[in-house]
Amino acid sequence: MLTRILAPILCALLAVASACDQQSDPVVVAPVLNAASSWYEIVRQDPDPAVVTDAEARARMTATKLPWKVRDRMTGIVMLLCPPGEFTMGSPASEAGREANEAQHSVTITKAFYLSETEVTQESWQKVVGENPSEFQLANNPVEQVSWNDCQSFCLSSGLRLASESEWEYACRAGTTGAYAGDLASMAWFRDNSGGSTHPVKQRKLNAWGLYDMHGNVWEWCEDGYAESASSTQQASTGIVGTRVLRGGGWYDGASGCRTADRARAPGGTNHHVGFRVARTAS
């Protein structure tokens, strides 16, 4: 009797066990590295409120869902996020030292991009290129005596690029509208305080987005060819053949030459007051 009662139960249990044996093991999906983010490691995900004090700017950075501060894996260069937005490029007619090529116009930055926290240092340059052309040789000083083509070679070898002129001014302003992104004397190495040479990066006050030395120290190459009217888009201008745009002023310039809107042109050669910083499109 007991055998007749248990037999059906045992058969049912065996059937369930057999069915379970025939099921596939759970599929485990390995995490896939996002190709867009494989070039960097995250230094800080969210913008630091002590640095980016404007809540609206922090919100625009956070809305991109991109990390605020990253380190380029190949070069070790630290880069900061610049979010999409709009700004007025150029200077008003009333600005002291204004030049005729600084006509004001509205520019929309449609794509987030990263810009190096500092000018490219001699240490970073030497890591990629293997030699140091600078006149003022100190590892943490900005590299100088580099041509526009030299900078292109550096960028191509490391997957980076130069900022367009509109990206450069947008990042320099960091939401400001005046002649400078803050107090020039505390932000820049220029004629009044440089002592006739470049200085290590990150010694002066940063701007509202965390970028150092946007004013002074060395002029910075942009991607653009020079044109009398700056580009009205995020893209670089082709400009006049054989000329390139420089921004930011340098250690030998007076205050006027370090203004946010000041635009210089050069044939692309080397000089001991010319360096660069790097950019990268975020996506």
Inside any domain, residue 257: yes
Residue 219: exposure state from Cβ atoms within 10 A (0-12, 13-18, ≥19)? buried
Interval 194-240: pLDDT, tens:
999 999 999 999 999 999 999 999 999 999 999 999 999 999 999 99
Alpha carbons 178 and 261: distance in angstroms, whole number: 9
- pLDDT tens digits for range 36-49: 569 999 999 999 99
Domain range for residue 58? 38-281
The strand pairing partners of 8, in sequence order, are: none
3 inside domain:
no
pTM score, whole prediction: 0.87
Considering the chain, what is the average pLDDT of its residues? 90
**Residue 19 in this model has a pLDDT that exceeds 50:** no
CB atoms within 10 A of CB 188: 30
In the chain, the number of structural domains is 1
Is the residue at 1 inside a domain?
Answer: no
Pairing state between β 113-116 and 78-82: antiparallel
Residue 18 in any domain: the answer is no
CATH of the domain at 173: 3.90.1580.10
User: What number is the average pLDDT over the span 6-22?
Assistant: 38
Q: Which residue has the higher pLDDT, 66 or 11?
A: 66
Residue 118 lies in a domain: yes
Domain assignment present for residue 13? The answer is no
Is residue 23 situated within a structural domain?
A: no
269, part of any domain:
yes
